[in-house]
Structure 1
Amino acid sequence: MPGNPFGEDYPTSKSPFDANHEYSGSDMAFATPQNRTLASQQRALASIGHSEQVGASTLEELAEQREKLDRVEQRLYEIGELQKDGQKQIGALQSWWKSWFTKKPATAVEPANKVLPVQAKNQENHASSFLSQNINPVSPSMQQQSFQLPSQNQPKSQFDANMDMMSSGMARLKSMATVMNAELKAQNKQLDRMDPQLARVSDTMTTQNRQMNKLLGVKNPP
């Protein structure tokens, strides 16, 4: 006996695209293309967030490294100035010894009253100023940014919001990469600038030690 009181039963279909499809609870759980897209966006946002955290940590390490290089370069400059003053004193001693052994009246050597200022040369592109001017687009607040699961009520608006966050995140990553590249180049130039300074300090120290040994009658090592 037909279920339809008018004597006709319409056939049901299992295809979701059929007009006579009979819906069930399991069909509602079927993942729609929108849901799959939102889930993919969620994974991309999480990956971008992780990359930003790694980039921020790297920038902090580069800033600390630059500060150390600045201190070393400052110290090399100060040592070089002290060696210049020391060379003047050695020259005065040599002149005094020469006058004493030749039994000539010792000439008073006026000490150098004018002491060269012990200060570092003007540095260009300090890490602190460099990063402070370029770190703003990638401020640490981004590390605390959390990406919420997509809302099922308004998938289209959530899709647009995710796209905006992905675009902003990629822009920040690009800015971070630019800052890192510039900072690495600046530090490499600084290391190249420090190499001859270090060599001069070492050579001057060796020369002055030999001069002092000669004045004191100590045989210099070969």
Structure 2
Amino acid sequence: MPGNPFGEDDNTAANPFDTNYGGSGGDMTFATPQNRTLASQQRALASIGHSERVGVSTLEELAEQGEKLDRAEQRLHEIAELQKDSQKQIGALQSWWKSWFTKKSTTPVGPVNKEPPPQIRNQPTHAASFLSQNVNSVSATMQQPSFQLSSQKQLSSQFDTNMDMMSSGMARLKSMATVMNAELRAQNQQLDRMDPQLSKVSDTMTTQNRQMNKLLGVKNPP
């Protein structure tokens, strides 16, 4: 038969908000404000770690892209120099054919002045340099240990440690943003520098093809 609802129940620990809930042998502990703060810090650290992973991936892509641009610009310079040598040979052929039919000596084609090589970076890209210098510190933030409910002293120590790690992580994210901006500016400047060179190479190729077709008696396309 149920007991008196207005009487004292022997099982006073049934209330989960009672500090004696579960008795001395209970294994459930409610989060204190300090523990909730640590949990919030852990979520913030996890978010920072995720942002750093995204940042590292972006920097790696930018570093690889920068290396490809450097190789492309160097190759573009080499092609331009080959075209100059080709133009010299075409000029010699034109002079030879002209002298063959006119029986007149012609002035030999002088050497073509070579342009200085492009200002290609001889140092690692901004992104590659940052990754090589900060790989260890970034990895440390990506792997955050979870905290456990403990004494007040340990909670305070963990709180301070988390704050230091959050500060370091935010500083690295700021540095990443600065490096990304510098790398993108450098690559945009490089693309602007390569654009007229690429157009010149393309125009020279078209002109030389027409000259060779004329020498060979092939009709040039309209």
TM class, shorter-length: 0.7 to 0.9
* AA partner of residue 138 (structure 2): M
Partner of 1:67: 67
* AA partner of residue 63 (structure 1): A
CA–CA distance in structure 1, aligned partners of residues 145 and 218 of structure 2: 78
Where does structure 2 lack aligned partners over 5 or more consecutive residues?
A: 1-11
**Cα displacement (A) at 1:107:** 5.8
Across the aligned residues of Structure 1 and Structure 2, the Cα RMSD in angstroms comes to: 2.8
Aligned pairs for 1:150-189 (under 5 A) are 150-151=147-148, 152-153=150-151, 154-189=154-189
Partner of 2:50: 50
Partner of 2:212: 212
**Percent of aligned positions with the same letter in both sequences?**
67
> Does 2:95 correspond to 1:85?
no
Q: How big is each residue's C-alpha offset from its partner over 1:10-52, in whole Å with a ceiling of 9 and x where there is no partner?
A: xxx99xxxxxxx8413597222111110111011111111111
Partner of 1:5: none
C-alpha contact (below 8 Å) 1:73/1:120 kept by paired residues: no
Instruction: Identify if the C-alpha distance between structure 1 residues 64 and 136 changes in structure 2 by more than 3 Å, giving closer, same or farther.
Output: closer
CA–CA distance in structure 2, aligned partners of residues 186 and 110 of structure 1: 39
Partner of 1:131: 127
Q: How big is each residue's C-alpha offset from its partner over 1:63-117, in whole Å with a ceiling of 9 and x where there is no partner?
A: 111111111111111110111111111111111111111123x5695896x9959
Partner SS state of residue 25, structure 1? coil
Partner of 2:39: 39
Q: How big is each residue's C-alpha offset from its partner over 1:95-146, in whole Å with a ceiling of 9 and x where there is no partner?
A: 1111111123x5695896x9959x84232475x2433543356325523542
CA–CA distance in structure 2, aligned partners of residues 30 and 53 of structure 1: 33
CA–CA distance in structure 2, aligned partners of residues 170 and 110 of structure 1: 63
> Does 2:144 correspond to 1:147?
yes
Larger deviation, residues 198-207 vs 141-150: 141-150
* TM-score of the aligned structures, taking structure 2 as reference length: 0.78
CA–CA distance in structure 1, aligned partners of residues 132 and 217 of structure 2: 62
* AA partner of residue 186 (structure 1): A
Instruction: Identify if the C-alpha distance between structure 1 residues 164 and 53 changes in structure 2 by more than 3 Å, giving closer, same or farther.
Output: same
* AA partner of residue 150 (structure 1): F
